[in-house]
Amino acid sequence: MATINNNFLKLPVSYLFSDIARKVAKYREENPDASIIRLGIGDVTRPLAPAVIEAMHKAVDEMACSETFRGYGPEHGYDFLQKAIIENDYLPRGIKLEMDEVFINDGAKSDTGNIGDILGLDNSLCMTDPIYPVYVDSNAMCGRAGELTPDGWSNITYCPCNAENGFTPTLPTSRVADIIYLCFPNNPTGTVITRAELKKWVDYALQHDSIIMYDAAYEAYIQEEDIPHSIYEIEGAKRCAIEFRSYSKTAGFTGVRCGYTIVPLELTARASDGSRVALNALWNRRQCTKFNGTSYIQHRAAEAIYSEEGRKQIRETISYYMENARIMRDALTEMGYEVYGGVNAPYIWLRCPKGMSSWEFFDYLLHGPHIVGTPGVGFGPSGEGYFRLTAFGTRENCIEAMHRLKALN
Ligand SMILES: *Cc1c(COP(=O)(O)O)cnc(C)c1O
């Protein structure tokens, strides 16, 4: 008799984006003339950089010729991209990596969701709240998160991030966390962590033999000096952290699919017989069995980002989004909103005015100025009373949305 993985039945259905879509569709049906501005999506809108397009065309042509055709790629990914990553993303920050430490993948969602395959189910977890839902759900699916209670999953320690603590999570004290998920710059709050604060987490992990899963998907959006781009800028992090990066937000690859994960050779964890085992070897084994790699064409597309032209072009696109963020931040601040994020990340996180809940403010914006954003509570209980706007829209829409809000005041 075949049975299912019962853990899937414990997962609450995520209503967030379907609820938003349903509310917007209903409003549109009742108000066909309303011009609705969508500032809720977490997806990019600008096209790929010309250097990327050119590299992809060239790679496609190579696939048309028997001399240059490529079949299955190397298991870690092609070395030209590993090399470009090491030389461009890490060496300039004083971080030395071996080729074997870089795993090319199809994006950060897959690897942040799959990394748990190589770790014991008895590890306790620590997550910041609000949070990108993949970390929680992927652990719930294999049973590691425990049982869902009114206070959240029984095996997860939640670290609230809110205005009161400056969106800086504090170290868990109630129980030791074996696996810790951190995402900076943060989605959804758009806030960052300082080097001194990140060092506290690295020191905690080294002291307690924990592992930090560091999601740096928005690293390219950091504008201020002195904000860490990689966790490996912190001494000792290679012994306790895995870092996830993605070209999705960096270079508009949400539809192309390419990213990478760093699993340092020094990183080990305990086996049931008490011996230490390198996670790099386990992850390699896991990927060789279950992951098919990302295509040669995608590799060449990603490599093009590191060319002089490519670098300039993706920087322009990031500047476009960050100027959107600045416009919204300034306008909202001027209107008296309490605004966070938007300086080193493409997300604005604001406190709902007049004590409104996240969903009340959602309805208020949809019905009044016809603006769609994302209710903060959808990312976790500590998001209640907050609201996320993204800077990934068009300039015209950002400006128009701010005009409409001002007219309400
Ligand atoms: C968008 C995003 C990613 C990247 O996902 P991909 O699978 O690479 O497209 C990872 N982490 C967070 C927090 C994100 O918002």
Let me know whether 26 and 158 are in one domain: no
Contact (CB, 8 A) for 301 and 55: yes
Q: Which of 304, 319, 344 is the last residue of a domain?
A: 304
- The rounded Å distance from CA 244 to ligand 1 centre is 9
Amino acid found at 314: I
pLDDT at 304: 98
Domain-embedded: residue 213 = yes
* Ligand 1 neighbourhood includes 252 CB (under 6 angstroms): no
Q: What angle do CA 236, 343, 168 make, to 5 degrees?
A: 45
Beta carbons of 278 and 267 less than 8 angstroms apart: yes
For residue 7, tell me if it sits in a domain: no
In a domain, 144, yes or no: yes
CA of 409 to the centre of ligand 1 (A): 35
Query: Distance between CA 361 and CA 391 in Å, rounded?
Result: 19
Q: Give the pLDDT confidence score for residue 12 in this predicted structure.
A: 86
Domain boundary among 241, 274, 304: 304
Structure pTM?
0.97
**Mutate which of 131, 246, 392 to test ligand 1's pocket (most atoms within 8 Å of Cβ)?**
246
Q: Judge if 191 and 278 occupy the same domain.
A: yes
Mean pLDDT by 10 residues, the chain (409 residues): 97 85 95 94 92 98 98 95 98 98 97 98 98 95 96 96 96 94 98 98 98 98 97 98 98 98 98 98 97 97 98 98 98 98 98 97 97 96 97 96 92
Q: Are residues 298 and 339 in the same domain?
A: no
With a 6 Å cutoff on the Cβ, whether 138 touches ligand 1 is no
Q: Of 282, 304, 326, which marks where a domain is finished? A: 304
In this structure, the answer to whether residues 100 and 20 fall within a common structural domain is no
| Same domain flag for 30 and 105 | no
Answer yes or no: do 104 and 165 share one domain.
yes
Does residue 362 sit within a domain? Answer: yes
Q: How many domains does the chain have?
A: 2
Task: Evaluate: CB of 254 within 6 angstroms of ligand 1.
Answer: yes
Instruction: Answer yes or no: is 279 within a domain.
Output: yes
Residue nearest to atom 11 of ligand 1 (CA): 217
pLDDT confidence of residue 262: 98
The answer for 293, left when phi > 0, alpha when psi is -120 to 50, beta otherwise, is left
Residue 114 in domain: yes
Q: Looking at residue 332, which CATH number applies to its domain?
A: 3.90.1150.10
Distance CA 48, CA 260 (A): 19
CB contact at 8 A, 12 and 152: no
Do both 229 and 359 map to the same domain?
Answer: no
pLDDT given at position 147? 97
Does residue 9 sit within a domain?
no
Based on the domain organization, do 274 and 315 belong to the same domain? no
Residues 6+ apart with CB under 8 A from 377: 357, 358, 359, 383, 384, 385, 386
Residues 165 and 33 in one domain: no
Asked if 66 and 23 sit in the same domain, the reply is no
116 phi, psi to nearest 5 deg: -60, -15
User: Do 208 and 236 share a domain, yes or no?
Assistant: yes
| CATH number of the domain to which 228 belongs | 3.40.640.10
**Same domain, yes or no: 283 and 365:** no
Answer yes or no: is the C-beta of 44 below 6 A from any ligand 1 atom. Answer: no
To test the pocket of ligand 1, the residue of 103, 104, 109 to mutate (highest count of ligand atoms within 8 Å of its CB) is: 109
Is there a domain that residue 48 lies in? no
Domain that residue 349 falls in: 14-43+309-408
Q: Which atom of ligand 1 is nearest to the CA of 215?
A: 11
Q: Is ligand 1 within 6 A of the CB of residue 187?
A: yes
Rounded Cα distance, 114 and 143, in Å: 13
Q: Which residues have a Cβ under 8 Å from the Cβ of 124 and sit 6 or more positions away? A: 155, 156, 157, 175, 176, 177, 178, 179
Core vs surface per residue 94-129: b (16+ CB within 10 A) or e: ebebeeebbbbbbbbbbbbbbbbebbeeebbbbbbb
